[in-house]
Amino acid sequence: MDIVRAIPEMRAWSRRRKAVGETVALVPTMGYFHQGHLALMQAARRHARRVVVSLFVNPAQFGPAEDLERYPSDHDRDRRMAAAAGVDCLFVPAVDAMYPEGHQTRIDVRELSLGLCGAARPGHFQGVATVVAKLFNIVQPDTALFGQKDFQQLQVIRRMAVDLDFPVEIVGHPTVREPDGLAMSSRNTYLDARERGTAQCLFEALELARRLCASGERSCGRIALAVERFLLSRPGVRIGYIFLGDPGRLIPVREVTGPTLLALAVWIGGTRLIDNVLLEPGPAGH
């Protein structure tokens, strides 16, 4: 596996691959790999001849009170895991190379960035869209893979790629979970043992909603209320948001009449976790 740090070198790497007719898939990450990241890397192999993984903790997507300084990191472990997953190139740019002095351009995918996580994290999706656009320009991938765990991020990137004519196929990958259902996340390492037990409640809440829908409940208000009550019955849980809405446009809906996104942000102690599910309408007449 090649390890590339400089932007011109990364560009040259991709250019060489493309010159011999090879396709390139990109998996953007912030590192501290877990099985979710590895699943994206393995899926990338099925989409292209060569797989590039970027490892960059992007300061532009963290707010001033967020966890940039303590975001978990272990580059040696990441390097070993990526190599074992068959990654061809690990791109690890420096912050001052990605954001040299004087940088000021930001990409704003307006409406999709406003609600859900965007409401509590102003500027977050501008930071995400900007860094992903830069990575697309540097790596020039044919395909890029993103996890559905970060559903809003996936939709923001899809929109950006269409709006700005990036010749990149965007692929969403299903959420990889721990045995108890908790979505894998680098931030799960912030949880202590008690909080880790509590964190299962996100998945349980999604399952509760899925069961309600399957048994014919269509009212988003009633589903949201059931989910809220369930989450608040757990100790140390605070709700960031409970969103039920159109998965493409990310606007709320009142009834589950087609595939409907249920997305949650939940604080367990000092850690903010997110998860989501696509609800399908059950039999009518509830």
Footprint of ligand AMP (CB under 6 A): 29-30, 36-37, 39-40, 146-147, 149-150, 173, 175-176, 183-186
Q: How far is CA 283 from CA 117, 173, 216, 276, in A?
A: 31, 28, 5, 22
Q: Which of 37, 47, 173, 286 is flagged as catalytic?
A: 37
**Residue of 211, 204, 133, 144 lying closest to 171 (CA atoms):** 144
Comparison of 183 and 227: residue with beta carbon closer to ligand AMP:
183
The least CB distance from residue 240 to ligand AMP, in Å, is 17
If one counts every other C-beta atom within 10 angstroms of the C-beta of residue 164, the result is: 12
The least CB distance from residue 275 to ligand AMP, in Å, is 9
Comparison of 39 and 256: residue with beta carbon closer to ligand AMP:
39
37 is a catalytic site residue: yes
Residues with Cβ within 8 Å of 121's Cβ and at least 6 positions away in sequence, in order, are 63, 66
Comparison of 109 and 220: residue with beta carbon closer to ligand AMP:
109
On the CB side of 121, how many CA atoms lie within 13 Å of its CA?
22
The least CB distance from residue 21 to ligand AMP, in Å, is 27
Comparison of 10 and 273: residue with beta carbon closer to ligand AMP:
273
The least CB distance from residue 148 to ligand AMP, in Å, is 7
Comparison of 202 and 220: residue with beta carbon closer to ligand AMP:
202
Residues in the chain: 286
Task: Kindly compute the dihedral angle of the four CA atoms of residues 243, 244, 248, 253, in this order, to the nearest 10 degrees.
Answer: -130
CB 98 within 8 A of CB 134: yes
Residues with Cβ within 8 Å of 210's Cβ and at least 6 positions away in sequence, in order, are 277, 279
If one counts every other C-beta atom within 10 angstroms of the C-beta of residue 143, the result is: 19
Q: Find the residue with minimal CB distance to ligand AMP.
A: 147
The least CB distance from residue 124 to ligand AMP, in Å, is 12
Axis-axis angle for helices 124-139, 151-163 (nearest 10):
60
CB 51 within 8 A of CB 41: yes
List residues with catalytic annotation.
37
